[in-house]
Amino acid sequence: MKKLSGCEREVLAVIMDMQQAIGLREIQEEVNRRFKRTWKPQTASTFIRRMAEKGYLMPEGRGRGTLYKSAIPPAEYRRQELQDVVDLFYGGDVLQARKDLESCTDAAGGE
């Protein structure tokens, strides 16, 4: 499966958080609100189309009434993203990644 761009990941996060199929307008509005974007419907539509082509989204219906939902369970996607980070930045060393993560959460807890 091809990797998602940063903007596509934002769209997927919104769709996964909704936990149900949602329409283009709702996706666009939530991405704009949550990620401080100023997308027009065509921009959101372009990312959604690309994501469907990559196999990340499943459209339901056609035309203006099309709803979209994730084709991948959220936990599976999160695991894959996390594995990619561990592989890239830690050379696959899960224990070191865990230590770094724990130090981040320890520092956040002390504020």
Residue corresponding to tokens 């999160």:
78
Q: Of 39, 54, 70, which closes a domain? A: 70
The backbone torsions φ and ψ at residue 69, rounded to the nearest 5 degrees and listed phi first, read: -140, 160
Reported as a single tens digit per residue, the pLDDT across 18-74 is 989 999 999 999 999 999 999 999 999 999 999 999 999 999 987 778 999 999 999
Does the pLDDT at position 1 exceed 90?
A: no
**What pLDDT sits at residue 65?**
86
Reported as a single tens digit per residue, the pLDDT across 82-106 is 999 999 999 999 999 999 999 987 7
Same domain for 51 and 28? yes
Does the pLDDT at position 107 exceed 90?
A: no
In a domain, 94, yes or no: yes
Same domain for 98 and 48? no
- Per the structure, the count of domains in the chain is 2
In a domain, 34, yes or no: yes
> How many angstroms separate the CA atoms of 50 and 52, rounded?
5
Same domain for 62 and 21? yes
In a domain, 62, yes or no: yes
**pTM score:** 0.84
In a domain, 1, yes or no: no
